[in-house]
Chain A
């Protein structure tokens, strides 16, 4: 197994995939963290922004809508991640592992 790990570690494709994967992970983490903390910070420091209603006919405030929005955005982004991982990363990963195994046998 160690031999196989070395072989994969030496494969530039593997490191390119890791980088792509981690770029996506961190970008999505940043968006989610930003949305959650913005929501909390507005409540803590600028509550007036959340006090307005969405329109003259409704009692629903910007704050309530934003709260729902934050949850929906987080669920959507987990969907984006799993879609990317299933569509692209898994296949590339299998290719890299298969390649390393073939080399291992020959």
Chain B
């Protein structure tokens, strides 16, 4: 029974994770998953009510979408019928995780100017996607990243590489989101950490398994509208206090911050130049090739709509990053000296991550606090839904349909496997979220971005731009790059020194992307040039056809049939 394999695999993994923790912990976790805390006074009823509103609307949409999700094309790409503007909003919803709102605000709150680095640099991925990737991606793509890179290559080795890397990417990113969500929700809503995991996991499974890409798109769309309007409203209220003078706001931040004018100046958060460049490479190139974002390019009918999506996404995301300039400094102005948000020692309650949330309360009272809390929850749900559908498509389309069944599976079978995979990923998310509770997971966000810049960007870029790339070159470079990235992460300062407690890291840099991406590129190029096999010759010869298609869109999936 081939099509049960992914499920069995996921269940096995989950069981292992369970067995890893003590039985008593499991009992507590199980109890907390389904019960409210003893002290229900901590429950933020306004936030819960607004979040329930979001859930009801999104479930209604899922019900509507489920009736429209029949074929694999519906499931993975909403039938390629999403418009450019809607898709741009949905991409914004996919991209802006809660880290972009709360994390960046926290960094600005704690470090002033240096926090801005994290709102400016990641944005560099967007022009890159527009100029180099968007048109060609849409013209060559079908459902997943692997479809593009395997167009003129051998199917099985290429899909093995890309789908393994995609799953590693999705699971790494998923853990970060789930752990972040659990902490956030127990803080904001007064619910148990474990219950937060169950709510998110269950919602995701319903959205993705039943509503596929249509429901996922609408969830992301609503979330983007909520996030952008919530953040805009906070900024409006902040600026209003200063008669809409930007200088007034910054002056107040300077007066309030212990850094004084230093809050507006580059400081010391940026590590040494090598780490800084490597981190920039990771955020820009990794950000430009994330499978769950790229998948959204296939939901539009043609290259023109793909460009419009990117233009909208870039404008909205750019706007959002500009808002973080004001939210971060607004928090310094209104939260830092406000006793309501400080504990006995004068530190911010709930840690710097709560700076944006406290600012909402300072500006708009309990109602705005509840709204922003619900937005933060919706934000996480939408990002996790995007990751889950990307993971489910890697399992069902790349692994099951193309590798195990060699393209012979029926539509119905593939959709069924997708749904089972979504269920498996939801359960896995809950289990891993609970298993990683309370651990330092900051390093985990480096993993997916490093994988993306080391594997996805080079394979995508070279397969579209470089005639001489061969299967052997791509696969060898991809695996060596991936292995080097993981080794450098493990023996680097974060894991080897800080977590495992060794005195000295074997690899000195926190961000290995600069090195692992270079290794991947060089290996792919050298091995391809040395590859004189017949297969390599055929692959080389088929570049012209692929090039014409990438430029004209002729023969693209979802385009008008001739």
Contacts and interface: CB of A to CB of B under 8 A. Distances in A.
A86 B128 CA distance: 18
A51 B266 contact: yes
B314 interface: yes
B251 A59 contact: yes
Contacts, number: 155
A74 B123 CA distance: 8
Interface residues of A, number: 56
Nearest to B553: A93
11 contacts: A9-B545, A9-B548, A28-B127, A29-B131, A42-B266, A57-B247, A59-B254, A63-B113, A64-B116, A81-B307, A82-B308
Interface residues of B, number: 53
Interface string B30-64: 00000000000000000000000000000000000
A60 B250 contact: yes
Contact of A32 (B119, B128, B554, B555): B128
B126 interface: yes
Contacts of A79: 311, 315
Interface of B: 113-114, 116-117, 119-121, 123-124, 126-128, 130-132, 135, 246-247, 250-251, 254, 261, 264-266, 270, 273, 276-277, 280, 284, 304, 307-308, 310-311, 314-315, 318, 321-322, 325, 544-545, 547-549, 551-555, 562
Interface of A: 1-2, 4-6, 8-9, 14, 17-18, 21, 24-26, 28-29, 32-33, 36-37, 39-40, 42-45, 47, 50-51, 53, 57-61, 63-64, 67-68, 70-72, 74-75, 77-79, 81-82, 85-86, 90, 93, 96-97, 101
A58 B120 contact: no
B132 A25 contact: yes
A18 B546 CA distance: 13
Contact of A21 (B308, B310, B544, B551): B551
A63 B273 contact: no
Given A59-B251, A85-B135, A44 B554 contact: no
A86 B304 contact: yes
Contacts of B120: 36, 39, 67, 70-71
Given A5-B544, A29-B127, A86-B304, A68 B322 contact: yes
Contact of A71 (B250, B322, B548): B322
